[in-house]
Amino acid sequence: MTLLAEKPQRTSGVESFKNYIGGEWVAASSGESIDNINPADTSDIVGRFPASTAQDAESAVRAAASAFAAWRKTPISARARILNKAADYLDAHADSFAVDMTREMGKPLNLARDEILRSAQTLRFYAVEGQSFAGEVFPQDDAGMIVYTEREPLGVVAVITPWNFPTSIPARKIAPALITGNTVVFKPSSDAPLSGYRLTEALAAAGIPKGVLNFVNGSAGDVGAAITTPQIVRAISFTGSTAAGEHIHRSVGITTRTQMELGGKNPLIVMADADLDQAVELAVKGGFSLTGQACTGTSRVLVMRAVKAAFTEKLLARIKTLKIGSGMTAGNDIGPLATAKQLETVLRYVEIGKREAKWLTGGDRLTGPGYGSGYYVSPAVFTDVTQSMRIAREEIFGPVLALIEVESYEDAIAKANDTEYGLSAAIATRNPSLMHAFARDIEAGTVKINRTTTGNLINAPFGGVKHSSTSTFRESGRAGLEFYTQIKTVYRGI
Ligand code: NAD
């Protein structure tokens, strides 16, 4: 099929990739490209991706608009079949797509592979769940009438995603949009577009009709407004920073629905009765896996005074065992930061932390054998952190933990909630009544008890409160389907 014939061309050893608009693989109208750089080895250019313009984005929106009428009438079983075939394609290419992902954003290969498989599973989940996502029939007095609701697709929807989960976040937005009959304009992060490109490739290979899914790579400044502001774009599902999400949310009209999954400053509370070894694992996995670049990553540890010294000692010992290095090397726990900008941000916050709190370990740029030009930073821990400090308040999005001493459960909850964010929160305790109280008292959309702040199921709702989400619509699970549909109420006389 044309897809394979038009596969990326190799130019001087570096592959060039195209946009996918109206069923065609096309270059950016600017003729320019953006290099996708391997953060573990900055001399490795993973690919050249279109530096799209507003004109390209507008073409994608038009293509999606033209495809909508036919796609919404396409039998749901046919829509589901495409999702299932795309899932098979992802499974079949999981090994090579995982290498692409690790190369473009640094996460360990086993996690990248898991993400590809999870994305396939997400497509399959919505292929099934979407087929039973229906309206209701209402009891009423008139025997000659039936009153029911239908769930209608919205129309053209924009999907805008970050680089940290470059396949699974797009999959959990695109699959529910497609199965409910919407057409999609998808803009990945231009820092890691290859994984989103692979997902598009999978859906194209599965036979998605022209214009139903469009892929446009480009910088936010060049294509952002053209994708988000046209009135014809009826919904925007965005995952990224709070600043960008709030900007988009404010700039759209009332006919456009938004679902914003934004930043976090996620706390882990360690109670005095916690299994301290387990609590240390929660802090290490929550704080440092994915090099601290998960929106649900642990960044604050609120630890009871009685166990603070013992917890800190165990934490520092455990950190010494972590292996930092290329995600391509099996056994490495922590890869590089994903971009030069992330590296600069993390190092800046380490300096801020050193000025305002007590530095315990890490935060160094790692260079030399095994690290080369990669964006490696050792995991950092600060202690005696207080609520007013910037490292306690601002999202760092890197391997930096702030230890905050607390004296009671009430003190811990008050401090945990003293943040503009509310994405995920965890507690380590053996006390069942505290587990229950925590689930009630914490201001977060995702609550973990003796589990890491990171991680969420594809079949359960996901999202935050406060500045972490526009909390009207959740992603994932059945809740993910609601965002992409509107309710129509029908009164039908017989
Ligand atoms: P970012 O906000 O810089 O970019 C995210 C995406 O939005 C990119 O594709 C970017 O090009 C695009 N974008 C930015 N401004 C835009 C605009 N004005 N119009 C249109 N598109 C625009 O975020 P990032 O650096 O890629 O990702 C890190 C951030 O994402 C962190 O803040 C993290 O907490 C957040 N995140 C949240 C979740 C969640 O589910 N809540 C998950 C992962 C990441």
Q: Which two tokens stand for residue 96?
A: 């090579």
Ligand 1 contacts CB of residue 185 (under 6 A): no
Which atom of ligand 1 is nearest to 187's Cα? 9
- The mean pLDDT of 266-292, rounded to a whole number, is 98
Q: Is the pLDDT of residue 62 over 80?
A: yes
Instruction: Compute the distance from residue 8 Cα to the ligand 1 centre, in Å.
Output: 26
Instruction: Compute the distance from residue 128 Cα to the ligand 1 centre, in Å.
Output: 29
Find all residues with CB under 8 Å of 272, minimum gap 6, and list them.
304, 306, 307
Q: What is the 3-state secondary structure of the chain?
A: CHHHHCCCEEECCEEECCEEECCEEECCCCCCEEEEECCCCCCCEEEEEECCCHHHHHHHHHHHHHHHHHHHHCCHHHHHHHHHHHHHHHHHCHHHHHHHHHHHHCCCHHHHHHHHHHHHHHHHHHHHHHHHCCCCEECCCCCCEEEEEEEEECCEEEEECCCCCCCHHHHHHHHHHHHCCCEEEEECCCCCCHHHHHHHHHHHHCCCCCCCEEECCCCHHHHHHHHHCCCCEEEEEEECCHHHHHHHHHHCCCCCEEEEECCCCEEEEECCCCCHHHHHHHHHHHHHHHHHCCCCCEEEEEEEHHHHHHHHHHHHHHHHCCCECCCCCCCCCECCCCCHHHHHHHHHHHHHHHHHCEEEECCCEECCCCCCCCCEECCEEEECCCCCCHHHHCCCCCCEEEEEEECCHHHHHHHHHCCCCCCEEEEECCCHHHHHHHHHHCCCCEEEECCCCCCCCCCCCECCCHHHECCCCCECCCHHHHCCEEEEEEEEEC
What pLDDT, on a 0 to 100 scale, did the predictor assign at position 125? 98
What pLDDT, on a 0 to 100 scale, did the predictor assign at position 362? 98
* Best residue among 241, 249, 375, 468 to mutate for probing ligand 1, ranked by most atoms within 8 Å of CB: 241
Is 295 a catalytic site residue? yes
Cα end-to-end distance, the chain, whole Å: 49
Among 4-13, 218-227, 300-309, the range scoring the smallest mean pLDDT is 4-13
- The mean pLDDT of 233-259, rounded to a whole number, is 95
Instruction: Compute the distance from residue 472 Cα to the ligand 1 centre, in Å.
Output: 19
Do you know the residue count of the chain?
A: 494
If you average pLDDT over every residue of the chain, what do you get? 96
Residue nearest to atom 30 of ligand 1 (CA): 240
d(CA 271, CA 426): 11
* Best residue among 34, 58, 160 to mutate for probing ligand 1, ranked by most atoms within 8 Å of CB: 160
d(CA 316, CA 381): 8
Ligand 1 contacts CB of residue 337 (under 6 A): no
Instruction: Spot the catalytic one: 295, 395, 475, 482.
Output: 295
Q: Is the pLDDT of residue 37 over 70?
A: yes
What pLDDT, on a 0 to 100 scale, did the predictor assign at position 40? 98
Per residue in 245-255, pLDDT (tens digit) is: 999 999 999 99
Instruction: Spot the catalytic one: 104, 115, 201, 261.
Output: 261
Kindly tell me the burial class for residue 292, based on how many C-beta atoms sit within 10 Å of its own C-beta (0-12, 13-18, 19 or more). Answer: buried
| Domains of the chain and any CATH numbers | 19-262+469-493 (3.40.605.10), 266-457 (3.40.309.10)
Ligand 1 contacts CB of residue 263 (under 6 A): yes
Ligand 1 contacts CB of residue 376 (under 6 A): no
Ligand 1 contacts CB of residue 483 (under 6 A): no
Instruction: Compute the distance from residue 160 Cα to the ligand 1 centre, in Å.
Output: 8
- The mean pLDDT of 210-238, rounded to a whole number, is 96
Q: Is the pLDDT of residue 9 over 50?
A: no
What are the distances in angstroms from CA 190 to CA 112, 270, 376?
Answer: 18, 38, 21
What pLDDT, on a 0 to 100 scale, did the predictor assign at position 3? 37
Residue 470: pLDDT band with limits 50, 70, 90:
confident
Instruction: Compute the distance from residue 244 Cα to the ligand 1 centre, in Å.
Output: 7
Is 407 a catalytic site residue? no
